[in-house]
Copies of this chain bind each other. A is one copy, B any other.
Amino acid sequence: MNLPEAGALLAAECARYTELGWMRGTSGNLSVRLSDDPLRLAVTASGLDKGELTASDVVEIDATGAPVSEGALAPSAEAGLHGRIAAVSGAGAVVHVHVLAPVLAAERWPGGVELRDLEMLKGFGRAAHDDLVTIPVVRNSQDMQALGDAFEAGWRADTPALIVARHGLYVWGSDLRQARHRTECLEWLTRFIIEA
């Protein structure tokens, strides 16, 4: 995938999340893998309205989140965590949205949000029975190195999500569609355990 193709996909996905109310203000950012070696991602540019992105509102970054070339647009401030997640997990796409239910769940269960025996876990890539899924919760930080270390310390290959407390949700997958499906399932799951 080249950068303009990635930009078009990212803009379309952002419009979907915006419609769901999960990218309020200019919050959230999405990335998709462009190449493996060296690792390159396309990430949404910083500070823009996510309901109005165009295919050019995208920046190519390396595994540290640094832009590969100089341009008018800055990558999202959280690009470093996107790079880290992609490098560690091998994900093809990373979604970061400010969706409320997971953040509420993390506030109630700051040591990790436990999900078990729920059908929607299948959509998240796990089993619907007898499979305890713990979504890691890390403290919020503006230091992407610190956030990335906390992510990596709690990372498990079978749990493609991370909640940053009092902030938002990261979910990843092989591509943007799988990441979205997992994000939608995790929102349902955390809404369920909050209301149940």
A: residues with CB less than 8 A from B are: 20-21, 24-27, 49, 98, 100, 103-104, 107-108, 117-120, 123-124, 128-129, 140, 142, 164, 166-168, 177, 181-182, 184-185, 187-188, 191-192, 194-196
Q: Which residues of B contact A129 (CB under 8 A)?
A: 140, 142
Closest residue of chain B to A181, judged by CB? B25
A26 to B178, CA, bound (A): 10
Kindly report how many copies of this chain are found in the complex they form together. Answer: 4
A124 to B24, CA, bound (A): 11
Contact A120 B98 (CB under 8 A): yes
Contact B98 A181 (CB under 8 A): no
A20 to B129, CA, bound (A): 27
Contact A196 B25 (CB under 8 A): no
Q: Which residues of B contact A49 (CB under 8 A)?
A: 177, 181
Contact A120 B25 (CB under 8 A): yes
Q: Which residues of B contact A194 (CB under 8 A)?
A: 195
Contact A24 B188 (CB under 8 A): yes
Q: How far is the CB of A196 from chain B (nearest CB, A)?
A: 5
Contact A24 B187 (CB under 8 A): yes
Query: Quick one: given A128-B140, A140-B117, A195-B100, are A24 and B166 in contact (CB under 8 Å)?
Result: no
A192 to B27, CA, bound (A): 15
Contact B184 A25 (CB under 8 A): yes
Q: Which residues of B contact A177 (CB under 8 A)?
A: 49
Closest residue of chain B to A182, judged by CB? B25
Contact A27 B185 (CB under 8 A): yes
A163 to B195, CA, bound (A): 17
Q: Which residues of B contact A185 (CB under 8 A)?
A: 24-25, 27
Contact A123 B181 (CB under 8 A): no
28 cross-chain CB contacts under 8 A: A20-B21, A24-B120, A24-B123, A24-B184, A24-B187, A24-B188, A25-B120, A25-B124, A25-B185, A25-B188, A26-B123, A27-B119, A27-B120, A27-B123, A49-B181, A98-B120, A100-B188, A100-B195, A104-B195, A104-B196, A107-B196, A108-B196, A117-B166, A119-B164, A119-B166, A120-B167, A128-B167, A129-B140
